[in-house]
Structure 1
Amino acid sequence: MQVTMYSKENCSLCTKAKKVIEELSEDYPLTLHEIDIYQDDELLEKYQIMIPVIEIDGNEVEYGIIHKETIQDYLNKLVEK
């Protein structure tokens, strides 16, 4: 499953979110793609105060403070399908 994380440099919430995804990748087939919103004006405008934003297979799952349980619940629903 493709996980996209919209983030920026020097973002402690982003660091914590990345750790959550890395932990979950031990149990789920996840590929993390990290995008710095400051490299794209459109993304900066869209996500400026929301980062980090976790998107899985094109669906925004959570933003701001990322909770492992929320991401895990979403992944479990995908696996059940």
Structure 2
Amino acid sequence: MTATPAPARVTLYSRQGCHLCDDARVVVAAVCADLGESFDEVDIDADPDLVDRFGDEVPVTFVDGRQHDFWRVDEARLRAALGS
């Protein structure tokens, strides 16, 4: 029996052409790689409900299913939220 990988603890909601999203992706990817975590990225423009919910706040990060940050990702704060 193959073990099912654990779901990603971090979700980054973003959109194409967003420079803040590009900056956030770099921080999230580096922190997750350093801590052995994975993250999922969701393009909000693919879902009208997500555009309504996050359109003016992207990038938005969630940790363990709860909203963590928006607009900018603070590396130290993300590390703390992931228990490091």
- Out of 36, 52, 60, the residue aligned to residue 29 of structure 1 is 36
Structure 2 partner of 1:61: 68
Distance 2:22 2:39 in 1: 13
Question: Identity over the aligned pairs, expressed in percent?
Answer: 26
Cα offset, 1:48, TM superposition: 0.6
1:60-79 to structure 2, matched below 5 A, reads 60-76=67-83
Query: Given residue 37 of structure 1, which amino acid in structure 2 is its aligned partner?
Result: I
Distance 1:45 1:27 in 2: 33
Q: Structure 1-normalised TM-score? A: 0.85
Number of residues of Structure 1 aligned to a counterpart in Structure 2: 77
Larger Rg: 2
Cα offset, 1:62, TM superposition: 0.7
Contact 2:28-2:73 at 8 Å conserved across structures = no
Cα offset, 1:2, TM superposition: 2.2
User: Tell me, which stretches of 5 or more residues in structure 2 are unaligned?
Assistant: 1-7
1:52 equivalenced with 2:59 (yes/no): yes
Cα RMSD (Å): 1.3
State the 4+ residue runs in structure 1 displaced beyond 2 angstroms.
Answer: none
